[in-house]
Structure 1
Amino acid sequence: MSDDTRIPPATTAPLQAVLTRRTDAETCADPSSVMTLLGESDGAQGGFTAYRSSFAEGAAGAPAHFHTKATELFFVISGSLRVLVGEEVTVLNAGDFLAVPPHTPHAFAAAPGAQADVLFVFTPGMGRFDYLRLLGRVMRGEADPKEIAESADRFDNHYVDSPVWRAVPDGSA
């Protein structure tokens, strides 16, 4: 093999391990949930964002939205989470896993009469911790809600109207 046909070595740095101890994890709280920021990597090979949300009974969660680049993974640690995926609403219970691919409208809230403790992972991550911090500030009335709309492309979070989600009974959607 001649030198001009060799594949050059990769020029990107390898991914680094990410370890966050429970006692060191940052939390963001709003009136109905607590988000524990577990780890994030914006590496050239994709990266990820991982956080845990504990939703109070009746917590509204997230309205209908989609991501153009990220796949969002849900793992219900305990309790029950009502979710919209496309045009279908279902309930995830402790131990259930869901992967929502890009461009798929989805929403979530604590299921009626239940709390929910959920692990969320996004890949790629895109620095979403800053989005979660912004969301907490908006929910607490410390920031203008239009900042969320203005950050849609930066955080790959695009809100949409979902008649199916709006029709969910008892106001939890």
Structure 2
Amino acid sequence: MTEATNPAIAPDTAFPAVLTRHAEAEICADPSSVMTLLADADTAGPGGGFTSYRSSFSEGAVGAPAHFHTKATELFFVIGGSLRVLVGDEVTVLNAGDFLAVPPHTPHAFAAAPGAEADILFVFTPGMGRFDYLRLLGRVMRGEADPKEIAESAERFDNHYVDSPAWRAALERSA
């Protein structure tokens, strides 16, 4: 039986497959990371399906401060290296092959683990047009945009920053 005739693996025209070739992916770079934008909500199926991108963090990269999302679950898959993460009030290190799913309303943060680089695949579900947020982050990190724009975009991108004593303490210990 061919793929085209097997209903279990036949393409769903209401939710087409998403293919992003590496050579065609948009790249956003800042001084400490490179983000490869893979699929955003407008290309990932009905209801925004998902948003996905890959980030490669250099040693010492700051990643993201403590924040939460109200609508999306954020998935992390460590392709290589090590990523230090905050989930709730717990700080841990994820290594190559580790997977983490952070549900809505759960404070979390991440950065390259001390002394390590990190290569991470991120997926948000449902997606909601986050590529503009990632582009904004890159502009802020490069000094091309005012950091206030990030705070002003919290509702639009469902990215709400919070204070985390546990995350601050972890960062201070490695400084």
TM-score by length of 2: 0.88
CA distance in 1 between counterparts of 2:151 and 2:92 reads 27
Q: Per-residue deviation at 1:47?
A: 1.5
Is 1:17 aligned to residue 17 of structure 2?
A: yes
Q: Per-residue deviation at 1:44?
A: 3.7
Q: Is the helix fraction higher in 1 or 2?
A: 2
User: Which amino acid counterpart does residue 144 of structure 2 have in structure 1?
Assistant: E
Tell me how large the CA RMSD over aligned residues is. Answer: 1.1
Aligned to 1:57: 59
User: Which amino acid counterpart does residue 36 of structure 2 have in structure 1?
Assistant: T
Q: Structure 2: which 5+ residue stretches go unaligned? A: 1-12
**Ranges of 4+ aligned residues in structure 1 off by more than 6 Å:** none
User: Which amino acid counterpart does residue 148 of structure 2 have in structure 1?
Assistant: K
Aligned to 1:126: 128
Aligned to 1:152: 154
Q: Per-residue deviation at 1:39?
A: 1.0
Aligned pairs, number: 159
Q: Per-residue deviation at 1:46?
A: 4.1
User: Which amino acid counterpart does residue 19 of structure 1 have in structure 2?
Assistant: L
Aligned to 1:95: 97
Match 2:81 to one of 79, 82, 94: 79
| SS class of match (1:82) | strand
Q: Structure 1: which 5+ residue stretches go unaligned? A: 1-12
TM-score by length of 1: 0.89
| SS class of match (1:58) | coil
Paired-residue identity, %: 84
Q: Which has the larger radius of gyration?
A: 1
Q: Per-residue deviation at 1:15?
A: 2.1
Q: Per-residue deviation at 1:83?
A: 0.2
Aligned to 2:174: 170
CA distance in 1 between counterparts of 2:24 and 2:52 reads 14
